Structure formats: structure tokens, C-alpha cells
């Protein structure tokens, strides 16, 4: 008796949508959140049959920082229920800000500056 198994496990990332007009928790700029869903899955004959380790990720459009979104809010967003995404719903995964944002002129300034080279305001 010969038995062939065509299946396996894999990971996937699926973009869900964009949440506009929010203030970035890292740099303070007006930006958008790009929301995606990542998960591991088991497939038979290339058809996904079982998913686990489902996570919702948020990438900021301004500085590119990565956050994990509260799963309940992520499911609501995926179902197009338009939940409000607040800072307490985000858990930072990576925070790298290569610039500061000037509160006076909103310019992006290198982190080495103490004063804005455009308007002179203290950073």
C-alpha cells in the first residue's frame, strides 16, 4: 500500500486595510495605520484547513514602526465594523525613529539636532 501525503504547514501575511488620520504614538506626526493579519496554517492539497497564531499588525505610514493590534479590535476591523483604534490597543514590537518631528513647523529633523534647523524651535 502506497500512501502519499500532500500537505504541510506555512505562514502567511494578508493586508487588511488602512486606518487614516491618526497621530503616531512614536513620532507624533499625522499618519495612517497599515493593518495586516499574520497567521500560521496547515494545508491539504494547497487548501488552508486550520489556522493558528493569528496576529494583527499595524505599521505606521510616517516612521514605519511596527505594533501588534489588540486581537478583538483587529477582528472588528477585518469585519469592516470600523472600530476606533487607540494607543492602548497597540503594543510596540519595534520602535525605530530615525528622525524627530518639530512641533512648530512639523518638519522631520535628524535625531542629532537639539533645535529645528528650519524654524529654530527647541526639539
* Segment 20-53, tens digit of pLDDT: 999 988 878 899 999 999 999 998 887 888 899 9
Look-up of cell digits 507624533: 28
Report d(CA 103, CA 96) in Å as an integer: 19
**Cell digits of residue 105:** 513647523
Could you tell me if residue 111 is inside a domain?
no
pLDDT at 97: 59
41 CA to centre of own chain: 21
Residue 82: domain span: 7-98
- Bridge partners (DSSP) of residue 122 are 115
Q: How many domains does the chain have?
A: 1
Q: Is residue 14 in some structural domain?
A: yes
Whole-angstrom Cα distance, residue 72 to residue 31?
23
- Please indicate, yes or no, if residue 76 is contained in any of the structural domains: yes
Residue 115 lies in a domain: no
Look at residue 24 and tell me if it is in a domain.
yes
Whether 118 is covered by a domain: the verdict is no
Q: What digits encode the pLDDT tens for the residues 40-93?
A: 999 888 788 889 999 999 999 887 889 999 999 999 999 999 899 999 999 998
Amino acid at each position: 500500500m502506497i500512501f502519499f501525503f500532500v500537505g504541510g504547514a506555512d505562514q502567511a501575511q494578508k493586508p487588511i486595510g488602512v486606518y487614516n488620520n491618526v497621530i503616531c504614538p512614536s513620532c507624533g506626526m499625522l499618519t495612517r495605520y497599515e493593518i495586516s493579519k499574520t497567521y500560521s496554517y496547515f494545508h491539504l492539497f494547497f487548501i488552508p484547513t486550520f489556522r493558528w497564531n493569528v496576529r494583527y499588525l499595524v505599521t505606521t505610514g510616517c516612521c514605519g514602526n511596527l505594533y501588534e493590534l489588540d486581537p478583538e479590535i483587529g477582528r472588528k476591523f477585518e469585519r469592516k465594523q470600523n472600530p476606533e483604534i487607540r494607543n492602548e490597543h497597540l503594543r510596540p514590537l519595534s520602535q525605530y525613529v530615525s528622525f524627530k518631528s518639530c512641533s512648530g513647523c512639523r518638519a522631520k529633523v535628524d535625531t542629532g539636532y537639539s533645535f529645528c534647523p528650519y524654524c529654530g524651535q527647541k526639539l
